[in-house]
């Protein structure tokens, strides 16, 4: 008689800053047959984000110091030690958590260790991504191909990775360069990585912290460039 391998423990970490209009639906959309725990990192919200997230069934972690990567790192410190696969996504309603199985199945099956949801390969709702976001994804993909010989089309926030693999990468970035650092270090370490198409929507409410203002866009671009240079010049 064959015995089915038990499902690995999956932790979902959601970064949120003033996302009271979206966070409840985001949590409700996470498939509970896959996610064993949902952690929302409240990165200094001044609205009811934390209250709504808690009511929706998530465990809320407070990280008052702003920083995209810092928020996710705080979430990582709080997840269960049983976690084998960790999933990251944003709390603004743009990502589609209902597509979680696309990301975790290749890892559960043991064929890949890191799966990135590519917004540029999936269906994008009109207005969900600015031109410079799409361009940045392809530009980073070009650089990753030159540096490490890997193909990439996006730096999408919706991604899944084995916990032990992530721990070995030694991520340091605490701002918007966090997704890029993860991809660069994974490429350099020859982590088994794949992209899967995922859908992407306009945010459910509020203003984008990156594309919503010129200042936000410039700050994000600066941090991404700094991260790119820092990781590229580090010794292998």
Quick: pLDDT tens for 183-194. Answer: 999 999 999 999
Q: Is residue 3 part of a domain?
A: no
Give the lowest-confidence range in 81-95, 100-114, 184-198, 212-226.
Answer: 212-226
Of residues 32, 78, 81, 80, the one with CA closest to residue 56: 32
Which pLDDT score is estimated for 235? 56
In a domain, 107, yes or no: yes
Cα–Cα distance measured from residue 205 to residue 216, given in angstroms and rounded to the nearest whole number: 17
Evaluate whether residue 139 is within a structural domain.
yes
Domain containing 149 equals: 10-233
Report pLDDT for 212: 47
User: What is the end-to-end Cα distance of the chain in Å, rounded?
Assistant: 46
Assigned domain for 190 exists: yes
Work out the burial of residue 215: count CB atoms within 10 Å of its CB; fewer than 13 is exposed, 13-18 middle, 19 or more buried.
exposed
Residue 56 lies in a domain: yes
Stated as kind and residue range, the H or E segment containing 111 is none
pTM value?
A: 0.89
- What mean pLDDT value characterizes the chain? 90
Strand partners, 11: 37, 86
Judged against a pLDDT cut of 70, whether residue 146 lies above it is answered with yes
**Domain total of the chain:** 1
pLDDT in tens, 125-144: 988 888 778 888 888 888 88
5 falls within a domain: no
Does the pLDDT of residue 83 top 90, yes or no? yes
CATH number of 136's domain: 3.90.550.10
Residue 236 has pLDDT above 80, yes or no: no
Beta carbons within 8 Å of 146's beta carbon, 6+ residues apart: none
What are the angstrom distances between the C-alpha of 112 and each of 1, 31, 160, 173, 216? 27, 21, 10, 24, 34
Q: Is residue 2 part of a domain?
A: no
Report yes or no on 23 lying in a domain: yes
């Amino acid at each position: 008689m064959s015995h089915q391998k038990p499902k690995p423990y999956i932790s979902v970490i959601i970064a949120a800053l003033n996302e009271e209009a979206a966070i409840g639906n985001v949590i409700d959309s996470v498939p509970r047959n896959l996610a064993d725990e949902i952690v929302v990192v409240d990165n200094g919200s001044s609205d009811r984000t934390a209250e709504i997230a808690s009511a929706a069934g998530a465990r809320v972690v407070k990280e008052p110091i702003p920083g995209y990567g810092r928020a996710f790192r705080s979430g990582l410190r709080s997840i269960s030690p049983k976690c084998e696969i960790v999933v990251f996504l944003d709390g603004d309603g743009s990502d589609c958590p209902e597509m979680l199985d696309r990301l975790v199945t290749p890892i559960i099956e043991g064929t890949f260790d890191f799966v990135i949801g590519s917004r540029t390969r999936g269906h994008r709702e009109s207005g969900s991504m600015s031109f410079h976001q799409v361009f940045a994804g392809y530009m980073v993909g070009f650089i990753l191909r030159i540096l490490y010989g890997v193909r990439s089309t996006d730096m999408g926030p919706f991604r899944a990775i084995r916990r032990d693999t992530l721990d070995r990468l030694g991520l340091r970035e605490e701002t918007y360069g966090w997704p890029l650092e993860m991809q660069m270090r994974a490429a350099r370490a020859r982590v088994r990585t794949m992209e899967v198409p995922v859908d992407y929507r306009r945010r459910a409410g509020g203003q984008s912290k990156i594309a919503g203002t010129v200042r936000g866009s410039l700050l994000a671009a600066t941090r991404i460039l700094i991260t790119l240079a820092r990781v590229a010049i580090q010794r292998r």
